[in-house]
Structure formats: structure tokens, C-alpha cells
A and B are shown apart, each in its own frame.
Chain A
Amino acid sequence: MRKQCVIFITALFLLGLIFSPAVFAADRKEVLVLGMATSDIISLDPAKAFEFSGVGIINQVYDKLLDFPAGKFDTPELSLAESWSVSDDGVVWKFKLKEGIKFHSGNEVTAEDAAYSFKRVVYLKDQPSFILTQFGLTEDAIKVVDKYTVQITLDKQYAQGIFFSCLSAGVASIVDSKVAQQNEQKTDKYPNGDRGMTWLSRNSAGSGPFSLTKWEKNDRVILDANPKHFVHPPKVKRVVIKEIIEATSRRLQVEKGDIDVAWEMFPDQVKELEKNKDIQIARIAALQIWYMGMNVTKGPLADAKVRKAIRYAIDYDGIIKDIMAGAGVQTNTFIPKGFAGYEDKIIYRTNLEKAKALLKEAGYPNGFETSMDHGDQTPYPEVAQVIQNALGKVGIKVKLNKLISAQLWPKYRAQKHELILARWGPDYMDPHTNAQPFADYKAKQLCWRNAFYNDKTSGLIQKAGVEMNNDKRIKLYQDANAIIQEEGPYAFLFQPLYQHAVRNNLENFYAAPTFGLWKLYSVGKK
């Protein structure tokens, strides 16, 4: 009897192995499956999320007053807002909302919700809040004029382009105030109430093309379509974003057809995937800039000629071709390709003779010793080694310090580095998000960290911040960039490419240059 039992159980087990559950296959056409590394997500509350994947997901779930449509990345368009007006002094902005738009809960989107959403960002003061509070926003400055009109008063005039880009960022998502209030709780951090933050970290209260069904950290995110969306009802019923950290595993799964999109493939994988006729590669230059920062208070680095010599000594082709396997473009501007004002002009090509001559002029004919801090994740160490090797050729001996981020960024913020290898990505979709940190030391960001206290570039950026004419504003950034390239504290290296492997049965999949512009409602499956 016992023997028969064992045989029976073994047979059942084997049957289970042989027959996979095919019964769900019919629905698979309506489900879009993406494989990507999503372990950076901390919260899916728009007032808190500031990580790549988190912002990307919020984009699918919430609408904003203004937004960038799928595949369009230049200027934001009206979304929940129907129209806007501004006072003559450029300080008081009014936005009129479209009528009849519903949240996923069925509640109507009103000015109350818009005001509540902005006020909670100001009140919660979490990481991305500066995107709104940089305009001097306080809770009192946000008012409901009537059911469909919200008024925002800024502390002074700002360029419209910057303000609108910030209003289309994830942090400016419009949250269903009734649902958020129902789920408010008192926490250690917010003893007077968290305005729904704890609940919204893993639930949603939006009106966007998708609603958040589930987020299990290190496992998957499930989004279900909102077929009643006022302008972009999704083409698929469900999106599953599966956490697959390992790029090789993502590649195998997209080739097998278990996932529809494999996010961010490495260059060598792309070469192999290009041979697969069921797969195409969606490419776009990421809005990221890889650069080397030079602390101008540290010895020879104080001399602009030395910094220029370093820029001439770097082996840009070696970095892009050998380390990035071609998945990057050299850049000599802090405005990345994809933003207005980008200049496709290379100033620094490797020229060791020129570098040596500049070092000689600066009084360092035999070079000097310095150190470079860099992150521990690929390709930071590899890029650092190429730079070390290149600088060695002109006599600059570089000691490399590989640090984890909890060591690296505090050191950078405290201006304790000599050279540092880093990258910068935009916080919102306007060149100002790069120009300010790179060229205005008063913003206490990159320019300040590298101790480049240049009032001229700072003045240009501050002027641009309030310039209402967009063309003039862009010109100011370009003028600042010219100074930064000539004497600034950076060597700009490259802008990387995003390369996603997409199965051929997908339609209208647009690679976005940043997670903040990522839209899935357009994607359909044949």
C-alpha cells in the first residue's frame, strides 16, 4: 500500500512537471510583461518616489496638469489642465481643469484635488519636494479658486518653461484627495498625519491610464488598465513589471518570449540579440551625463590650464568604444542630447601633445600625483581605469579609490575629493535641471562641490531662471556652457544609450530618454 502511494505521488509530480498550466496562455496577448531591475523602488507615492523605476511607474498611474505624451519629449502639453493664465508680474498662475475626468475610484478630478496634491508635497517635505518648493511654494500659496480652477502663487517670477516642466514631473501628480484622506495615519515622522503617504507607498489614487494593483518589492509590479482614461485608454489590459536584476536572465527570457521587453541590455548582449529576428532593439540617448569632477581647491587642479590639459588627455574613444562598446556618444555640454539647447559640437578630442604643452605652461612639465574617487558598480571602475591610464601618459599619476555610494556621495558633498567620476540625470524635463547644478555654485550642487565659484556662470544661470523668452533662455545656458568647457571643473565624457530588447509583436513601444518620460499606454500587442 505504502509503495503504491509513493508511486502515485511520484507519477503526479512528474505529470505536474510535464504539463505546464497552458490554460492562461489565451490571456497572454493582453498582458505586457517587462523585465527590469526595479529594486530601487522605495515608495510609489508621488510625493516620495524619486528613484528611476518608481518615477517611471507613477507616470503610468497618475495624471498631471501638464504632461509629455508618449514619444514626445520636447515640451509638456496640457493634460488635466484645459487652460492656464498668469498675472502680469509672472507670479500668480491659474490652471483651469477639464471637467468630468474621473479618478480610478470614480471621484471627479477637481481643483480641490490639485491643491491637496501640491500642498501635501510641501507638507511632507520628502526627497522630490524641492522640484516644487524651489519656486517658493508654501501651503498658503496654493488656493482653490472654484471647482475647476487652482491658483499657485510663486515667490517671484520664473521662466515658464522651467515651471511647466516641473509641473509635469512625477512629484506634481494629482492625487485623489478623498482616497488619500481616508487612508491618512499618524506615524513617527508625521505625528500630525501622513496625508496618506504610508498607504500610497503601495496603493494608488490616481486617474492615469493604469492603476496600481500590486507592488511586491524584489518581485513584481502589476498595473491594470483604466479603459475609461479621458485621453489615453491603454492598448493592453495588464502590465507586469517583473524584477529581473540579472541582465543575462532578462536576455534569455525575452528571447524565449517569457517577457516582451528586456530593459537595458548591455552592448555585448545587443550584438547577439540583433541576430534574433523576433527581437528589435529600441535605442535612445539617455538624458544622463557622465563626467569627471575636478576639485579646484586641490593643488594643481586649481589651475584652469591643468584642468584643460586633463580634458585633452582623456581617451574618450577608449571609454566609448572599449568600455561602453559603442553605447554612448561623446558630449561637451551640460545640456544633454534630447533637451533644447544641446550643441552637437565636440571641443575636446584626445590630444596628448596639447595636454603636455598645457601642463608645461602651468608649471607641471612632469605631471603630478592625484586621486580619483569612483563608484563600485560597472562601468565606473572600468571607466576610471581608462582615465587613469590616459592621464598616466601625460605624467599625471592617479590613485583610484573605489567607494560604495554611502562613502562616495558624502565625500563629494563635503568637497573632500580631488577627482571624482560621476553622472548626472535630470530631475525634471528642462535644461535648467542640468545647467543649475553644473554652472551655478550658489545652488550648492555640482559646481559648488567642485569649488568652482564663478560668478559669471552663476549670474547667467540665475538670469536664465527668470527669462520668459525661451530662445534667450537657451542662449544663456549655452553661454554658460562655453565658459564651463573652457575653464570649468569638469571633463565631460559621454551620454550613454538606453538599449531595450523588444519583441516584434509589440506596437508603439517608445524608448524614453529617462524614466520620467516613460509611457506604456501606447504599447499594443499583435
Chain B
Amino acid sequence: MVQYLARRLVTLTITLIGIMVITFFIALVVPLDPLAAIAGPQAPQETVERLRKLYGFDQPVYVQFGRYLYRLAHGDLGTSFQTGRPVLEDILHFFPATLELATLALAIAILVGIPLGVLSAVYRNSPLDHFSRVLSLVGVSMPVFWLGLVLMLIFYFKLGWLPEPGRLDIMLIDPPRVTGMLLIDAVIAGDGEVFWDGIRHMILPATVLGLFGLAGIARIVRSSMLDVLSQEYIKTARIKGLNEFLVLTRHALRNALVPTVTIIGLTYGGLLEGSVLTETIFSWPGLGRYLAQAFLTLDLNAVVGGTMLVALTFSLVNLAVDLLYAFLNPKITYTE
């Protein structure tokens, strides 16, 4: 197990280095000029050239790459043009907001998706199964932008049940920043008002994101459950007179969860990249918008740093999924 983990971590490091090199060179060889974004359309040519020198873009690519590597070796991802702050600081600033939202969205997707999948399998072709199918279809096919605006219009504007977009009421003061995750920081500060307000603000964006994840989870649980429910050992359990609830949860679901965990892992990995559209509609200051702006303005350091972070989180989530297999199915072991 330890050996397996060590091997995976070595692979992960190599992957990250590869991604860094590829991203860096792609960003430099594309026929785009980052200075155009930094200087804007109006700046005179002299200003553009002066800035090119100031930012070191006048140097050959290998010099720029060498400098980048040197800084990276010292734990410095460089400074972002769009914030003027070290990229690492930016990532630590924007990522917690995304992590918090993604986690709640995933919780919604799991808590609704799994029971829905199980029930659809048990009551196959019933109205509930059809409802589940429609909900999944909506979750996957509705444009996030449209769905977000419609939900906002209904629950914020018309009914007034949920608050305005944003992370916190404008009159509330953020708790002291410890983790960057508002809810956890509010708990640490013992600020109930901020905590509840934070939750209320998260419901809509988390639902929109959760609905997307839910679709995949419910469908895969349904098909895995159908597969498992036809197995001999389920029949045996039923013949033995075991309670149907126990048959479904203890015998069927646990086995059906192995493929589901893969989907959950992929969904979570995707959510952790941040969702540009959801963050835009709900004024959520997360990683998605930061990265989108970085790409659009060719903010090189932020692009490379952000891409590495996304690759890292994706790999870690996948690693966690692989380890979970062993937990769910003791027959799976990791040996050399």
C-alpha cells in the first residue's frame, strides 16, 4: 500500500512537471501578445515596448523559461498581471471559495443522486424512474447560465426565499480569514449570523452545480444497482428473509458504489476547477473566473500556476477514488 502510494506520488510529480512545461510553451508560442492585454488597446507603441521590457517579455523564450524554473524551485509561481499579487497567494485566495461551493454542490449531488438512483432501479419504469430520468436530463442538458438565471428569478426575485447573489450580505463583515472558506471561518469566529447568511447565499449556486453532478451519479447508480440486483447473492439474501432495506443498502448499494465512486471523483475534480458561468451569475469570487480571466488576458504566470493546481487537485481526487475502491471492495488490494 505504502509502495503503491509512493509510486503514484512520483507519477503525479512527473505529470505536474510535464503539464507545467507544456502549458508554459503553449502560452508562449501561440500567436498572441500578452502585452496587448496588459497595455490595453489605447497605449502607444512606446508604452507597449517599455512594458515588454519591464515584464521581461523581451527576453528569448529559454531565458524566460529558465527564470520561471528558478523561481518555481524557490516556491514562487510568479506574479499575476491581473492582480499584481503572487500567483500562489491568488490561488490560496480564490480556491477556498470554490472548494466550499464545490463540496456543498457535491454533497447535494450525492445526497439526492444516490437515493434517486437506487429508487429508480428498485421501481424500474415507474413514474419515479421517469422523473429521475427527466431530472438527470435537465441537469446535464440545461445550460448552466440559463438555469442559474431562472432559479435566481424565481427564488430570489419573485419569491424572495433566498438572498441576492454574492457570498455574504453586504452589511455583514467577513469573519477573520483562517481557511478562506466562509462557513468554516464563521464557525471558528463563532459568528452564527455570518454562518447562516453564508449558507443561504450558497444554496442557489450549489444547487445549480449540484444538479449537474446529480445527473451522472443518479444514472450510474441506477444502472449499477440494476446489475447488482439481478445477482444470485441478492436473491439468496431475500430468500433468507432479510429486511428489504438491508438487502438494498448493505448488500446491493455497497457493491453498486464502486463505479459510482469513479463518477463522483470525476465530478468533484471538475467542480474544483471552478465553474466560470455559475461564478459569474452568482457573483462568486472563485477560481473559475480567476482562471478564465487569466486565460483571456494571457496572464502567463496565473495560467501556468492555475493549470498546475487544477491538474494537482484532479490527480489527488483520482488517487482518493482509487484508495476508496479498496475500502468499498476488500477484494481490491494495491500491491506491487
Are A and B a genuine interacting pair, yes or no?
yes
Interface residues of A (CB under 8 A from B): 13, 16-17, 19-21, 23-25, 27-28, 31, 33, 39, 42-43, 48, 50-51, 125-127, 129-130, 188-189, 198, 201-202, 216-220, 240, 242-246, 248-249, 252-253, 255-256, 258-259, 404-410, 412-413, 422, 424-425, 427, 437, 443-445
Partner pick for A17 among B45, B200, B297, CB 8 A cutoff: B200
B39 touches A127 (CB 8 A): yes
**Known contacts A189-B55, A444-B46; is-contact A409 B41 (Cβ 8 Å):** yes
Distance between Cα atoms of A219 and B97 in the complex (Å): 11
A256 touches B164 (CB 8 A): yes
In this assembly, does B149 line the interface, its C-beta being within 8 Å of a C-beta of chain A? yes
Distance between Cα atoms of A99 and B85 in the complex (Å): 37
**Known contacts A245-B280, A252-B153; is-contact A188 B165 (Cβ 8 Å):** no
Q: Which residue of A lies closest to B37 (CB)?
A: A406
In this assembly, does B196 line the interface, its C-beta being within 8 Å of a C-beta of chain A? yes
Can you sample 7 A-B contacts with CB below 8 Å? A24-B169, A127-B51, A252-B152, A405-B37, A405-B297, A406-B296, A444-B44
CB distance from A1 to the nearest CB of B (A): 21
Binary CB contact string for chain B from 149 to 193 against chain A (1 if under 8 A, 0 otherwise): 100110011001101111101111000000000000000000011
B36 touches A410 (CB 8 A): yes
Q: Report how many residues on chain B are interfacial, defined by Cβ distance under 8 Å.
A: 66
Binary CB contact string for chain B from 199 to 216 against chain A (1 if under 8 A, 0 otherwise): 110000000000000000
Distance between Cα atoms of A33 and B168 in the complex (Å): 14
B157 touches A252 (CB 8 A): yes
In this assembly, does B43 line the interface, its C-beta being within 8 Å of a C-beta of chain A? yes
Q: Which residues of B contact A249 (CB under 8 A)?
A: 149, 152, 165, 281-283
Distance between Cα atoms of A108 and B200 in the complex (Å): 46
A24 touches B172 (CB 8 A): yes
CB distance from A19 to the nearest CB of B (A): 8
Interface residues of B (CB under 8 A from A): 31-48, 50-51, 54-55, 79, 81-85, 93-94, 149, 152-153, 156-157, 160-161, 163-167, 169-172, 192-193, 195-197, 199-200, 279-283, 285-286, 289-290, 293, 296-298
CB distance from A191 to the nearest CB of B (A): 12
Q: Which residues of B contact A127 (CB under 8 A)?
A: 38-40, 43, 47, 51
B289 touches A39 (CB 8 A): yes
A42 touches B163 (CB 8 A): no
Q: Which residues of A contact B282 (CB under 8 A)?
A: 249
Distance between Cα atoms of A244 and B281 in the complex (Å): 8
Distance between Cα atoms of A248 and B148 in the complex (Å): 11
B171 touches A27 (CB 8 A): yes
CB distance from A115 to the nearest CB of B (A): 23
A216 touches B285 (CB 8 A): yes
Distance between Cα atoms of A87 and B282 in the complex (Å): 57
Distance between Cα atoms of A19 and B283 in the complex (Å): 23
**Known contacts A198-B84, A406-B34, A406-B297; is-contact A21 B197 (Cβ 8 Å):** yes
Q: Which residue of B lies closest to A406 (CB)?
A: B32
Q: Which residues of B contact A444 (CB under 8 A)?
A: 44-46
Q: Which residues of A contact B192 (CB under 8 A)?
A: 16
The 3 closest A-B pairs by CB, nearest first: A16-B196, A24-B171, A219-B285
Partner pick for A412 among B41, B47, B286, CB 8 A cutoff: B41
Distance between Cα atoms of A246 and B34 in the complex (Å): 26
CB distance from A313 to the nearest CB of B (A): 25
A21 touches B169 (CB 8 A): yes
